[in-house]
Amino acid sequence: MNRRTFVQHTLAASASLVVTPLLAHAARPDPDPAKLPRWRGFNLLEKFVADVDAWNKPYREQDFEWMAKWGFDFVRLPMSYKCWMKTDDWYRRAKPNRPDETTTKEVDAAVAFGKRYGLHVNLNLHRIQGYCVNPPAEPVSLWTDEKALAAAVWQWRFLAERYKGIPNTQLSFDLVNEPAGVDEPDYVRVVTALVNGIREADPSRLIIADGRQYGTLPVPGLKGLRLGQSTRGYNPMQVSHYQATWVQGVKEWPQPGWPMTVGGQTWDKAKLQRDYIEPWKKLEAEGIGIHVGEWGCYKHTPHAVALRWMEDCLSLWKEAGWGWSLWNFRGDFGILNSGRTDVQYENFKGEKLDRQMLELLRKY
Could you tell me the sign of the dihedral formed by the alpha carbons of 132, 138, 144, 150, in that order?
Answer: negative
pLDDT digits (tens, 9 = 90+) for 227-286: 999 999 999 999 999 999 999 889 889 999 999 999 899 999 999 999 999 999 999 999
pTM recorded for the entire structure = 0.91
Our count of domains for the chain comes to: 1
What is the predicted pLDDT for the residue at 263? Answer: 87
What is the predicted pLDDT for the residue at 85? Answer: 86
Question: What is the pairing mode between strands 40-43 and 346-348?
Answer: unpaired
Give the domain range for residue 304: 3-363
What is the predicted pLDDT for the residue at 102? Answer: 87
Q: What CATH number should be reported for the domain holding residue 115?
A: 3.20.20.80
270 three-class SS: helix
**Residue ranges in the chain whose pLDDT is less than 50:** 1-23
Output 248-257 pairs: Cβ under 8 A, ≥24 positions apart.
255/302, 256/301, 256/302, 256/305, 257/305
Determine the residue type at 290.
I
| Separation between Cα atoms, residue 30 and residue 128, nearest integer Å | 28
pLDDT digits (tens, 9 = 90+) for 345-355: 999 999 999 99
* Sequence-separated (6 or more) residues with CB below 8 Å from residue 330: 45, 63, 336, 337, 351
Biggest alpha carbon distance in the chain?
A: 63
Backbone angles phi, psi at 151, to 5 degrees: -70, -40
Q: Where are the beta strands (DSSP E) in the chain?
A: 40-43, 74-80, 120-128, 131-132, 171-174, 207-210, 228-233, 260-262, 265-267, 290-295, 323-326, 346-348, 351-353
What is the predicted pLDDT for the residue at 88? Answer: 65
What is the predicted pLDDT for the residue at 100? Answer: 84
228 touches 280 (CB < 8 A): no
